[in-house]
Copies of this chain bind each other. A is one copy, B any other.
Amino acid sequence: MPFFAGVDIGGTNIKAGIVDYNGDIYGEADTPTGADRPQDVVFEDILGAVKKAAENAKINLSDIKAVGMGSPGVMDSEKGVVIYNNNLGWKDFHICDKMTEALKVPSVIENDADAAALGEVIAGSAKGAKRAIIVTLGTGVGVGIVINEKILRGSEFGHMVIKHNGRPCNCGRRGCFESYCSATGLINMTKEKIAEYPESTLAKIGNKDGVNGKTVFDAAEMGDEVAKKLIDEYLDYLACGLANLIDGLQPEVVGLSGGVAKQGEKLLKPLREKVYAEIYKGILTPAKIVTCTLGYKAGVIGTAMAVRDL
């Protein structure tokens, strides 16, 4: 049976897995990234994690037919090069040449969010969807697009402007989807509300425990009207961005992941109402909107699945 190795290279940890053609994991391994070390030294640990995962899966290295890798940052997947990766301090790293030389099999480097989206399509929340969009609501907004089980590489719909001349975004534009809908955006908006309504329960919780992406949901749970109104605003922006993507790409499934998505149905139920009210009326079968199910495994499975048909 052919196996594929998948490696998710994060700023903190490297996670490797041995995966079969259907996306089932046979063995895993992880190791700290140690991102302050030179890239060639980090690479040795990536290779070590693959070998350890193969050992844990009780397979020979020669049973691995190809290696898929994922990392954040800008890459040229055609050439197998990480152009730059701020988290890891990598620049022009020809990582696929190194992996292919080490294991004598083809290898591919993908954007990590794209790879995770493919994982969800092969084995998770969007299983079997011909078109799927996975939206990660984390520090930023990542949008992974998978069409016919292939990653549409390089998508940066997180920086789609949904409000011309709106909130400034780190990318330099104003009014990006990310500037409103990332956990960071939600935290910024929460802080603004706290300043505006210092007597609210929202302010009391925020001032006591610090503000994170959960604060507004906790306050709303306690009946705070300021928090409820902010969640409604947040969902308006999120629905706007998702409706844009559904109108434009007509996916069968939209999967949400990242910290904010942990709110589950509490978030999804009102979100679906807003999205379905917004989308273009001519759409024959509107996308299902779900939460992702694979967690960190999406990256390991997805990177492996990116090389299963090489």
Contact = CB atoms under 8 A, between A and B. Distances in A.
A76 B285 CA distance: 11
Contacts of A248: 143, 155-157, 160, 248
Interface residues of A, number: 38
A267 to B, nearest CB: 19
Interface string A56-94: 000000000000000001101000000100000000000
Copies in the complex: 2
A147 interface: yes
A249 interface: yes
A83 B284 contact: yes
Given A155-B249, A160-B160, A74 B282 contact: yes
Given A164-B163, A172-B281, A173-B278, A152 B249 contact: yes
Given A249-B155, A250-B154, A160 B281 contact: no
A262 to B, nearest CB: 25
A139 B72 CA distance: 41
Contact of A164 (B74, B173, B236, B281): B236
A155 B250 contact: yes
Contacts of A172: 281
Interface stretch (A12-20, A221-229, A239-247, A300-308): A239-247
Interface string A204-233: 000000000000000000000000000000
B236 A156 contact: no
B157 A247 contact: yes
A280 interface: yes
Among A83, A237, A240, A247, chain B packs the most CB atoms within 10 A around the CB of A247
A250 B153 contact: yes
Contacts of A237: 164
A187 interface: no
